[in-house]
Amino acid sequence: MIDHPKRLAFFLPNTFTALNLACGFGSVIMSWNGQFYNAGMILLLGSIFDSVDGRVARMTGTQSQFGEQFDSISDVVSFGIAPAFLAYNCFFKDLGRLGMVISFIYLLCGSLRLARFNANIEKVSSDYFQGLPIPTAALGIVGYVLLSVEFEVIKDYTPITIFYVLLYSLLMISNIPFYSFKNSTWVKTHKKRVLALIFLLLALIFTYEQLMIGAITGAYVLGGLVYFATHKGALEDVFSWKNENEHDEED
């Protein structure tokens, strides 16, 4: 009986991971049936579950290698396969093999992003993500799909859609640092403002989800690119551990 609370605490974060996986699976089924709005929104729900499982594990002290591997497998489905499948069914189905290749490139880059994250998890600074996180890329695809549901004319601009999907794909495997806000001094000193901003964004997403999901994701990506371009010199050593490994191999 004594071990039951510990078992429950270990089970809880994995439950959220499983719910994320279920959302990814549900999205695949919905996009297959042409329910693009529902397929996108359930991935948004999956991203919420994904953000919760790690926090619950840290709060309960139940972090484990099993949980990390399960989370990565879940992310491949929910933020790799499901968005790729959604983009293919919504935009690229009539392109034949080209549409399959573009969708697969997204899935491939997302899988590589997760593999690199797992391999370098102890090396990369928690202040920055090495490349665009796969949940953010998935929400970028979701936002674009929801926008096309609202404005169907977007589906007529296939070259722009191809560029958009490939851009988010390549950003995932890039070395561009995207700020994580995990150790932000401004966030810690302005908690009330941050909380108010979060509630405002949630209200906007709830009211104008077809516009706001893509807008918020795009703003984060654009802000990261602009910051990287204007502070490139200051960010050159963010992933300097690579150079240290190279020196060790040479020695």
Query: In this structure, which amino acid lies at residue 53?
Result: D
**pLDDT > 90 fraction of the chain, expressed in percent and rounded:** 54
Residue 181 domain-assigned? Answer: yes
Which band of pLDDT confidence, cut at 50, 70 and 90, is reported for residue 248? Answer: very low
Residue whose token pair is 């401004």? 186
- How do beta strands 177-179 and 128-130 pair? antiparallel
What's the whole-number mean pLDDT along residues 203-224? 91
Domain that holds residue 185: 4-239
Residues 171 and 134: beta-carbon distance below 8 Å: no
Q: Is the pLDDT of residue 222 over 80?
A: yes
> Is the overall model pTM greater than 0.85, yes or no?
yes
In a domain, 61, yes or no: yes
Q: Does some domain include residue 244?
A: no
Asked whether residue 209 is domain-assigned, the answer is yes
Mean pLDDT value of segment 108-126? 85
Q: What is the average per-residue pLDDT within 38-50? A: 95
**Total domain count for the chain?**
1
Three-state SS for 128?
Answer: strand
Report how far residue 71's alpha carbon sits from residue 13's, in angstroms, rounded to the nearest whole number: 10
Asked whether the predicted pLDDT for residue 251 surpasses 60, the reply is no
Asked whether residue 247 is assigned to any structural domain, the reply reads no
Task: Tell me the angle at which helices 65-75 and 4-32 cross, rounded to the nearest 10 degrees.
Answer: 10
- Which of the four pLDDT bands, split at 50, 70 and 90, describes residue 187? low
| Three-state helix/strand/coil letters over 1-18 | CCCHHHHHHHHHHHHHHH
Angle (CA) 142-196-207 rounded to 5° is 40
In a domain, 192, yes or no: yes
* Structural domain contains residue 79: yes
Question: What CATH code is carried by the domain that includes residue 202?
Answer: 1.20.120.1760
209-230 and 134-150 helices, crossing angle to 10° = 130
Secondary structure class of 215 (helix, strand, coil): helix
- The pLDDT-based confidence of 186 (bands split at 50, 70, 90) is low
Please tell me the distance from the alpha carbon of residue 63 to that of residue 195, in angstroms, as a whole number.
Answer: 27
